[in-house]
Amino acid sequence: MVIDFTEITDDHAFENFCMHLLQKMGLHIPVPPAVGADGGRDIICEEASQFSPGGYRWLVSCKHFAGSKKSVGVNADFAKPHKLVEHRCHGFMFMFSTAFTEDFRTSLQKICFEMRSGFKIFNCYEIEEKLLSSPHYFPLIRQYFPRSHDRLASLASSACCHYLSPQDALYAVYTQTGAYGGTSYQAFGTCCVDGYTEYLEKERIAYSIVKIRNDTNY
């Protein structure tokens, strides 16, 4: 693992990370995570579907055991069939910061087969693979895993003219380097960032941009 999930220090922060990751993946979040009793769901997300006017609704459960490194088993989480009906969802989605046990997978497959419902499981390895797959996800790595971000993304240059003032906005623009998915970023001020992103779009170069206010570590 190159992303350290222990950088997320509490369950609610992990739920918010999962929500933002799902949004980055293009899913709509009609029900975000909340503090307190959640009625058997952490998040509800919708995936566009040509067969369903409202999209395919996923009932999302998040478990954050990175601190203990404990795998998720049926004692910690499981599919609750009545919750799909209660929340008007079509399938189960699980997002874990560690691995999961074989009994968890077997139980989930059995329940979903009987209900004819879909399921998806994202463990820490699959989440990491998604985060590293494109510059699109690096602002999210920067937000939730700052130490991992600094190991993974190198500053190519500070490519900007002199700032007008210390309060001038500063942006990091991420691009892929090489054929194997390496990512670097350059720092730009407001006066220069639009010109650079227009160039990237013209050249059809994948990029992502995030505003980094008062960031003196670029």
C-beta separation of 187 from 202 below 8 A: no
CATH, domain 5-130, list 3.40.50.620, 3.40.1350.10, 3.40.50.300, 3.90.79.10: 3.40.1350.10
Above 50 in pLDDT, residue 206?
yes
Beta bridge partners of 28: 46
Residue 214 pLDDT exceeds 60:
no
pTM for this prediction:
0.84
CA torsion sign, 192 to 197 to 198 to 200?
positive
**pLDDT tens profile 161-176:** 655 455 667 889 999 8
- The full length of the chain comes to 218
- List, for residues 123-156, the tens digit of each pLDDT value: 999 999 999 999 999 999 999 999 999 888 877 6
Q: Which residues contact 215 (CB under 8 A, 6 or more apart)?
A: 170, 172
Location of structure tokens 């990512």: 183
Burial of 217 (0-12, 13-18, 19+ CB in 10 A): exposed
Locate the domains of the chain by residue range. 5-130, 147-211
The 10s digit of each residue's pLDDT in 59-79 is 999 999 999 999 999 999 988
